[in-house]
Amino acid sequence: MGKPFVKRRLHLRPVVWKSIRQDIELSVLSAIFFGLCAAFIMSAYDSGVTLLYTSVSEYGLWYLAVSFVAVLIIQDMYFYFIHRAFHHPLFFKWLHYGHHRSGDPTPWTSFAFDLPEAVIQGLFFVGIVFLIPLHFITLIAVLMTMTVWAVLTHLGFELFPSRFWFFPQWLGKWFIGSTHHAIHHHKYRVHYGLYFTFWDKLLGTHDPNYEVKKGM
């Protein structure tokens, strides 16, 4: 890792191979279940019972963008509330402990879910294709955005410090980045969102010191 990135590292402790191996094991388990979800969605599409479609002209180009943003907003809300529930003492050990087992996040932590959590995460996409008309391009774009975003927020270092001219400060206030999510892994009781900081700010789970810390 280059010196500029070392200076922006967010880990409190050195990353160890055992933690990475555990995260990889959980990620493989999650990937298997997500693959089953994809197979179910395709089977349901072939049966004509989903709202997925393939012709752009059916709803127009404008709907591709609108539906993409709408799904991100809905997913962010879904994720916030289930994620906050996962941290309840009654559920944490069997729903969400695996994701926090390594302590400090790494890219391998991005999809390191216990099986019950993977099921709940995957059910969002299984359900959304029955509720909102989505072009396959939109569905794939959302999945790619989720994957890239998850990796970026678990990097363990801040990719875009606030002083970078191409990363306007307002983006850090409304969109979740590595520093924002690293605070969650350190404190547990704050920062439950996936893409946006809206729900954390509205419901009082936003770290009041974040504005200071994000300049790390």
Question: What residues make up the domain containing 54?
Answer: 16-156
pLDDT confidence of residue 6: 43
For residues 143 and 37, what is the distance between their CA atoms, to the nearest angstrom? 13
**Residue 4 domain-assigned (yes or no):** no
pLDDT value at 160 more than 70: no
Whole-prediction pTM value?
0.87
Position 5 pLDDT exceeds 50: no
Average pLDDT over residues 187-203: 95
Range with top average pLDDT, 13-17, 187-191, 206-210: 187-191
| Each residue's pLDDT tens digit, 106-158 | 889 999 999 999 999 999 999 999 999 999 999 999 999 999 999 999 987 77
Q: Which two tokens stand for residue 146?
A: 């989720």
> For residue 13, what pLDDT band results from cuts at 50, 70 and 90?
low
Asked if the structure places residue 164 within a domain, the reply is no
169 domain-assigned: no
Residue 159 CB-half CA count within 13 A: 13
- What's the domain count of the chain? 1
Residue 101 lies in a domain: yes
For residue 174, being part of any structural domain is answered with no
Residue 179 CA to residue 145 CA, distance in Å, equals 19
- The confidence band for 8, taking pLDDT boundaries of 50, 70 and 90, is very low
Answer yes or no: is pLDDT of 189 > 70. yes
Q: Is residue 57 part of a domain?
A: yes
Cβ-based neighbour number of residue 31 at 10 Å: 13
Check residue 53 and give its pLDDT.
Answer: 98
Q: What percent of the chain has pLDDT over 70?
A: 82
Residues 6+ away with beta carbon under 8 Å from 131: 51
Residue 100 lies in a domain: yes
Q: What is the pLDDT of residue 105?
A: 86
Q: Please report whether residue 88 resides in a domain.
A: yes
3-state secondary structure 62-102: HHHHHHHHHHHHHHHHHHHHHHHHHCCCCCHHHHCHHHHCC
Query: pLDDT value at position 4?
Result: 47
| Confidence bin at 172 (pLDDT 50/70/90) | low
